[in-house]
A and B are shown apart, each in its own frame.
Chain A
């Protein structure tokens, strides 16, 4: 036993043998509610944006270094792969942005209501606050990403 919590994991089987209780969560048997998908996507986009931040380092350092170094960065960002990276970066940034605002609201203790916002509850869709705000985050991300890229391509 490495940890005091392990003591809670030990159970006795019907034949008397001591076994470890099964661990939760069983990722493979859960369906994926919106809260669960957004929770892990917040971490995934956070790690992805950390890698993307290195692109900002390259961009600024090249600009400070020389004309040719900066031209190389700009050519890369304008290439097909560069545009693809920037599109991923925009979507990841905006998802993390809106999900982060949802987290800040949660930190004030609001937004957890398990009460249905509308009665009767529609079958197949639970009108719970955290589900509604979860879908709002996804909708806001899609809309904002489209706006940024439409404006960006118009300016280009």
Chain B
């Protein structure tokens, strides 16, 4: 391999994480960070009213039976609100857990595995909640 094809940081023994294309363009990272940052804020704003509504709903549902849950979600507004809550909660949760894992897990293999698992768990949990809510409400 001719020496001019070795990236300068590799020649210095430094490992900078970027794809070959990005290295060629000299643009640094994958440049998707701001999207996740904005999504975390947007879901946070959505969760402010939704959380208050959910706490009030849980209090009003204390000691309820399955019939009470069906009656609660049978009205369109609570059903739509809980679907919004489910989506915003698990989306926000995925973004938050991702940051924690990325910050504290240094081993590449373990970090990637944990990110895949936590994303999978968030998606499955959200789908379980959505299907359950729709089954109760529809």
A101: contacting residue among B48, B64, B135, CB under 8 A: B48
B63: contacting residue among A50, A54, A78, A104, CB under 8 A: A78
Whether A46 pairs with B96 at a CB distance below 8 angstroms is: yes
Knowing A47-B97, A56-B129, the reply to whether A97 touches B51 (Cβ < 8 A) is yes
Interface size on A, residues (CB 8 A): 37
> Is A61's CB within 8 Å of the partner chain B?
yes
CB nearest neighbor in A for B66: A70
A60: contacting residue among B15, B51, B129, CB under 8 A: B129
CB-defined contacts of A70 to chain B, threshold 8 Å: 65-66, 69
Q: How far is the CB of B64 from chain A (nearest CB, A)?
A: 7
Knowing A60-B132, A64-B135, A93-B51, the reply to whether A156 touches B44 (Cβ < 8 A) is no
Whether B62 pairs with A152 at a CB distance below 8 angstroms is: yes
Q: 8 Å CB contacts to B: which residues of A18-70? A: 43, 46-47, 49-50, 53-54, 56-57, 60-61, 63-67, 70
A4: contacting residue among B16, B64, B69, B129, CB under 8 A: B16
Whether B66 pairs with A100 at a CB distance below 8 angstroms is: no
Whether B44 pairs with A104 at a CB distance below 8 angstroms is: yes
Q: 8 Å CB contacts to B: which residues of A114-138? A: none
Q: How far is the CB of A19 from chain B (nearest CB, A)?
A: 19
> Is B105's CB within 8 Å of the partner chain A?
no
> Is B9's CB within 8 Å of the partner chain A?
yes
CB-defined contacts of B69 to chain A, threshold 8 Å: 63, 70
> Is B133's CB within 8 Å of the partner chain A?
yes
B66: contacting residue among A57, A63, A101, CB under 8 A: A63
Q: Specify the main secondary structure of chain B where it touches its partner.
A: helix
A104: contacting residue among B16, B41, B62, CB under 8 A: B41
Interface size on B, residues (CB 8 A): 36
Whether B45 pairs with A2 at a CB distance below 8 angstroms is: no
A43: contacting residue among B48, B66, B89, B100, CB under 8 A: B100
CB-defined contacts of B12 to chain A, threshold 8 Å: 1, 4
Give Cα A1 to B13, complex, Å.
Answer: 6
Instruction: List the interface of chain B (C-beta within 8 A of A).
Output: 9, 12-16, 41, 44-45, 47-48, 51, 55, 59-60, 62-66, 69-70, 89-90, 93, 96-97, 100, 125, 128-129, 131-133, 135-136
Q: List 21 A-B contacts (CB under 8 A).
A: A46-B96, A46-B97, A53-B89, A53-B125, A57-B128, A60-B133, A60-B136, A61-B128, A64-B131, A64-B133, A70-B66, A71-B65, A78-B63, A90-B55, A93-B51, A97-B51, A104-B41, A104-B45, A155-B62, A156-B62, A156-B63
